[in-house]
Amino acid sequence: MRLIPSDPDVETLVSRINSGEVDLQPDFQRGEVWSKSKKQRLIDSILRDWHVPPIHVIEDNYTGRLEVLDGQQRLAAIRDFVAGDFTLDGNLDPVDSDLVDIHGLKYNDLPHFYRRRFNHFSIRLFRVVEYKAGEPGELFFRLNQPTSLTGAEQRNAFYGPIRSQVKNLVVRLEDSNLDKRFLGFSNSRMAYDDVLSRVAFTIDRGSLEVKITSGDLAELYRSEEPLGYRAISCVERVIDLFSEVERRNYPPIRFNKATLATWMIFIARCLINDVQWMKADTLLDFMHYFEMRSKSFDYPEGEVLGELSSEHLFYLFHSRSSSRVSDVSSVMIRDAVVWLLFVDYVYRTRLPQNFYFFDLDGLMECFVSRGSGRNFEDDDMIARNLISFGWGRI
């Protein structure tokens, strides 16, 4: 990897941004998150002729287009000021009497002297060329170590096939109107990227039995090998099924990141094991059933499959959705609870019972003592039972 330096002035940078030569929001970036006051401090620094940290851009090997690796917020602030989106704060400490005189002005209202000073201010720019797949991402990570970036934001700086696959899944999700209204949370700080990468990795690995750490995902993104077709196509089908549910205009469940991953893996298991009648209407009805039972433990009458306490099952599900959410035990318990409620739903609605790819009695025994007929209260014991039973294998 080589870094080629140059010192374009602000006027040149804004022109390149507006023409599309410089891509301010490549898909590994975290969105524009600077506040107005932080933008104003940057403009103030430029007008004082103070130092502004360098910008790093990646030259696309195929198109020659420049994608911003580091410095997105600075360039966005400069672009927005020139566009007239906010005014200058001339009262920032230490107070400069000259800047006080132009307080509250927008770019186009600046006196010629100050506009010329602003336009001709130079910023060091490093163009990254001749790089291997993982090098720009590692550079981004090292440049941003002092910054509070989420794991997903750090991972999505890694150029490579995994990043492209996950970003395509996110685009598919968003193009299907699966947004905050349906999912219950937005893609702020790349939350969707995080969930989809974990789901796809889980399916590709074929197991819930090993915890997926941030380090595991970072290593995955550094890889030059893509995830398998089976995993990616399965997640695509899950998204499409959710999209059909969304078009019914009824969001039945409010997810968080942990429970969304659980439901996506549940649907993926249905698809992998050829539960052919798992269509949008069935899924919507089951999600409604699940939500109603979670809120009213006597709806409908009877315990789950006649033995398991629905109150205890939902206690396990919700407690493991708000704490220790990524532990293997939590992932396994949430997944098993959804399946037990699904089997109960199938029995009650008299749907075809063609999901005998697992031993129902064995799964139930992970939760209830056959000798006493009592539900196990120790959720860590339940998790150990599930692992011994082999429930984690997808």
Kindly report, residue by residue over 336-388, the tens digit of the pLDDT: 999 999 988 888 887 766 656 788 889 988 998 766 567 777 888 999 999 99
- With cut-offs at 50, 70 and 90, classify the pLDDT of residue 174: very high
213 shares a domain with 272: yes
Residue 99 to residue 317: CA distance in whole angstroms:
58
354 shares a domain with 224: yes
Phi, psi of 300 (to 5 degrees): -75, -175
Q: Choose one of 73, 101, 131: the last residue of a domain.
A: 131
- With cut-offs at 50, 70 and 90, classify the pLDDT of residue 302: low
Helix (H, G, I), strand (E, B) or coil at 138: helix
Q: Please, what is the angle between helix 310-322 and helix 280-295, to 10°?
A: 100
202 burial class (0-12, 13-18, 19+ CB within 10 angstroms)? buried
Cis peptide bond prior to 136, omega within 30° of 0: no
CA-based nearest residue to 256, from 180, 190, 361, 311? 180
Highest mean pLDDT among 25-34, 109-118, 146-155, 318-327: 109-118
Residue 218 to residue 223: CA distance in whole angstroms:
9
Where do we find the tokens 């549940």? 266
Residue 268 to residue 235: CA distance in whole angstroms:
7
216 shares a domain with 339: yes
Q: Looking at the domain assignment, is residue 124 inside a domain? A: yes
Q: Indicate if the pLDDT at residue 298 is higher than 80.
A: no
Q: Describe the strand order of the beta sheet including 22-23 as a list of residue ranges.
A: 2-6, 125-129, 55-59, 66-70, 22-23
Q: Indicate if the pLDDT at residue 88 is higher than 80.
A: yes
CA-based nearest residue to 305, from 270, 331, 337? 337
88 shares a domain with 207: no
Q: Looking at the domain assignment, is residue 145 inside a domain? A: no
Q: Indicate if the pLDDT at residue 28 is higher than 80.
A: no
Query: What is the reported pLDDT for 317?
Result: 94
Query: What is the reported pLDDT for 143?
Result: 82
Mean pLDDT over each residue of the chain, to the nearest integer: 88
232 shares a domain with 346: yes
Number of domains, the chain:
2
Q: Looking at the domain assignment, is residue 183 inside a domain? A: yes
Helix-strand-coil split of the chain, %, nearest 5: 55, 10, 40
- With cut-offs at 50, 70 and 90, classify the pLDDT of residue 134: confident
The domain of 307 spans 153-389
pLDDT tens-digit map of 230-278: 999 999 999 999 999 999 877 678 899 999 999 999 999 999 888 777 8
192 shares a domain with 68: no
Q: Choose one of 76, 101, 131: the last residue of a domain.
A: 131
Q: Indicate if the pLDDT at residue 40 is higher than 60.
A: yes
304 vs 280 pLDDT, higher one:
280
164 shares a domain with 287: yes
168 shares a domain with 120: no
Q: Looking at the domain assignment, is residue 136 inside a domain? A: no
Query: What is the reported pLDDT for 204?
Result: 96
159 shares a domain with 54: no
Count other C-beta atoms under 10 Å from residue 156's C-beta.
27
195 shares a domain with 50: no
Residue 264 to residue 201: CA distance in whole angstroms:
12
Q: Looking at the domain assignment, is residue 148 inside a domain? A: no
Query: What is the reported pLDDT for 253?
Result: 83
264 shares a domain with 158: yes
Q: Looking at the domain assignment, is residue 147 inside a domain? A: no
Query: What is the reported pLDDT for 100?
Result: 94
Count other C-beta atoms under 10 Å from residue 89's C-beta.
16
Query: What is the reported pLDDT for 157?
Result: 75
Prediction pTM value: 0.67
Q: Looking at the domain assignment, is residue 160 inside a domain? A: yes
CB contact at 8 A, 332 and 208: yes
> What does each C-alpha distance from 247 to 178, 240, 277 come to in angstroms?
10, 11, 19
85 vs 30 pLDDT, higher one:
85
- With cut-offs at 50, 70 and 90, classify the pLDDT of residue 33: confident
Q: Indicate if the pLDDT at residue 138 is higher than 90.
A: no
Query: What is the reported pLDDT for 355?
Result: 59
Query: What is the reported pLDDT for 359?
Result: 87
CB contact at 8 A, 162 and 223: yes
- With cut-offs at 50, 70 and 90, classify the pLDDT of residue 31: low
Mean pLDDT computed over 115-144: 89
Q: Indicate if the pLDDT at residue 208 is higher than 80.
A: yes
- With cut-offs at 50, 70 and 90, classify the pLDDT of residue 32: low
Q: Looking at the domain assignment, is residue 139 inside a domain? A: no
Cis peptide bond prior to 94, omega within 30° of 0: yes
- With cut-offs at 50, 70 and 90, classify the pLDDT of residue 301: low
197 shares a domain with 112: no
